[in-house]
Amino acid sequence: ASINPQQLLAVLTSHFASLRRWRVEVDGGRPPRAVLESVKPKPHFSRIGQLEQQLRLWSEPALATAADRLLQATSDSRRKPALAETVLRRTTLALCMIAATH
């Protein structure tokens, strides 16, 4: 709605950074649920199931690709603020496509 696209990109970047940190532990052999229950601050209980599913869905290479896309989108939206909403829309669509193919 009336949320700044750069703020949403920042939230997405933070979320994917957390997923990457947690993915390292999952790749090390810990179950996603155990990883999520040990992180601090602990995610809200209503989000645990969704985050667990995301950790199963996203591989490290896919998360790296997503992080690169978000970094580029943040840069583009800052250089051309008039296109920030378009950049955000394209980036979120690209993230969906990455998730679907990995």
Buried b (16+ CB within 10 A) or exposed e, 2-20: eeebbebbeebbeebeebe
From first to last of its 102 residues, what are the pLDDT tens digits of the chain?
A: 578 999 999 999 999 999 999 999 999 999 999 999 999 999 999 999 999 999 999 999 999 999 999 999 999 999 999 999 999 999 999 999 999 987
Q: What confidence score (pLDDT) does residue 2 get?
A: 77
Contacts of 71 (CB under 8 A, 6+ apart): 13
